[in-house]
Structure 1
Amino acid sequence: MSQAFVQDLVDHASQRFRAGGRFAYHYSRGKLGYDTIFHDILRRGLLSHTPRVLDLGSGQGSLFSWLLAAQQLAAQGHWPGDWAAPPQPQALRGVELMGRDVNRAVRAFGATHPVVRIELGDMTRAELGRPDAITILDALHYVDYRRQSALLARIRDALPHGGVFLTRIGDASAGWRYQMGLNIDRAVTFARGHRLSRLYARPLAEWRAELESLGFEVDSRDMSGNKPLANVMLHCRVR
């Protein structure tokens, strides 16, 4: 992976968050620059053929800015030859529970962006529509087990055949590595100005079993990099 190209992506994607203030800007740079799941999404083309994306727990919209920056650079002829095809987002909708993050998103994208819309709402109650892909990055464990299962079933019903559900979870069976990730998650949540709440994690095997029972093909991939964590990306496709 070209580090120079990734840095160019980070510069483009984070620039719009300057309008949201210092925290929004530096948070986006740190998130997009060092969180490898964003790099993997582009390198492997996990959202390359899903023009309509719904991001539940979208925060200030960092994922959307990342996809738009990738589309822009590719259109200018800048794209690594060994990466999958770049994304072509047409409709990006986010649902976020925290008003502060929604306000940051509005300042970054504007209230009438032609592609991006981020709204205040509860992912467990929001209308899902008919997207090509649904993402939940580091937010599903804030939902209790009963509502987790209900939401996963609704996600499956909302997606077409071949549709993508992309999420990242902490593997609760990973012992101290999971606990370390839990502590980092709590620290970031607090820094974003949100209260700390109870978390509802599961072992990786349990996540896989439930998703497969709903009709997903599940590819799991460790997302901890060189860090002693237990972060796992689940790339799920409707059979």
Structure 2
Amino acid sequence: MSAVLPSRGATDNAWRELHEAATIPYKKGGSFAWHFARGKLGRDPVFRGLLERGLIDAQHRRVVDIGCGQGLFASLLASMSAMQKNGRWPASWSATPESADYTGIELMPKDVARAEASIGHLQPAPKLVCADMCSAELPDCDLVVILDVLHYVDLEAQQGVLTRVRDALRRGGNPQARLLLRVGDASSRRGFAISQWVDRTVTRIRGHKVSPTWGRPLAEWTALLDRLGFRVHSIPMSEGTPFANVLLVADLEERQAA
């Protein structure tokens, strides 16, 4: 994991190019899909943060994206691969997978349909599964990404999902297996309340029913992952927003990955 972040100015042009390449496919999915993709990738600090901190390793070839929405992360992975092959990858960014085997799991059929219409043509073809994360089959993998979705299920179900994620990563046998989990820190009451309000609003805009949510303080998230056999590092991930989001970088302990 990179200890020092590169100058933002040194990578701004590369990020703009990546943003354009990753969002163009969504024109196939219609106006909403395209505008949502551009806004999400452009305004959410997590995506650029993953790159600049070197959190996606070249060995993370088998990727599972839980709560994938319209599959934006799959398009981003493909665009990153193309930039590297074309020799346009910034030297300060770590290499990412040349050809990711992507599985996206999403509960909402409308989002899956937009994903299929927009990125179904990518090679290798992303596997898009319309299913509940609490029961969906998780393939053996190297990297699991869960951004802002675990709070939609209760505390017991959250632990169940994370247990199955650990088992899928363990089966994958990669000593660099990793979970990238972004959550809201419920101990930051104002930021957490704002993020929940925005989350409900966006859910309505996307045409979905608003469901109850269950949060935890950051210390509880960390303790839960520790009990499951992960070594956890937390990174604030709300830059430029009023939210209380935290990215948990959770690597399997060596005894678990062996």
Asked whether 1:86 is paired with 2:86, we answer no
2:237 and 2:201 map into 1 onto residues whose CA distance is 19
Residues of 2 paired with 1:140 and 1:15: CA distance? 29
Residue matched to 1:157: 167
Q: CA deviation at 1:97?
A: 0.4
Secondary structure of residue in 1 paired with 2:210: coil
The CA distance in 2 between the partners of 1:66 and 1:112, in whole Å, is: 11
Q: Which amino acid aligns with 1:41?
A: L
Following the alignment from structure 2 to structure 1, what is the Cα–Cα distance between the partners of residues 96 and 122? 24
Matches within 5 A, 1:1-239: 1=8, 2-48=11-57, 49-110=59-120, 113-160=123-170, 161-239=175-253
* CA RMSD after TM alignment: 1.4
Maintained 8 Å contact 1:97/1:121: yes
Displacement of 1:135 after TM fit? 1.1
Residues 55-97 of structure 1, C-alpha deviations (whole Å, 9 max, x = no match): 1111100011011111101110111111222333331000110
Structure 1 residue identity aligned to 2:161: L
Are the structure 2 counterparts of residues 144 and 111 from structure 1 closer, same or farther at C-alpha, using a change threshold of 3 Å? Answer: farther
Q: Distance in 2 between matches of 1:225 and 1:9?
A: 20
Task: Measure, in 2, the Cα distance between the counterparts of 1:34 and 1:89.
Answer: 26
CA separation in 2, counterparts of 1:139 and 1:23? 21
Helix, strand or coil at the partner of 1:67: helix
Structure 1, unmatched stretches of 5+, are none
SS in 2 for 1:86: coil
Give the TM-score taking structure 2 as reference length.
0.89
Displacement of 1:42: 1.6
SS of the counterpart of 1:172? coil
Aligned length: 239
Point out the more displaced range, 111-120 or 60-69: 111-120
Deviation sequence 1:144-185 (CA, Å, 0-9, x none): 111111111111111134311111000000011111111111
Q: Deviations over 1:96-142 (max 9, x none)?
A: 10000000011012278533111111111011120111111111110
Task: Please list every run of at least 4 consecutive aligned residues from structure 1 whose deviation after the TM superposition is greater than 4 angstroms.
Answer: none
Please report the TM-score for the alignment, with normalisation by the length of structure 1. 0.96
Contact 1:53 1:89 in 2 (8 A): no
Q: Does the 8 Å CA contact 2:78/2:122 hold for their aligned counterparts?
A: no
Counterpart contact for 2:78–2:100, Cα < 8 Å: no
> Whole-Å Cα distance in 1 between the matches of residues 240 and 35 of structure 2?
22
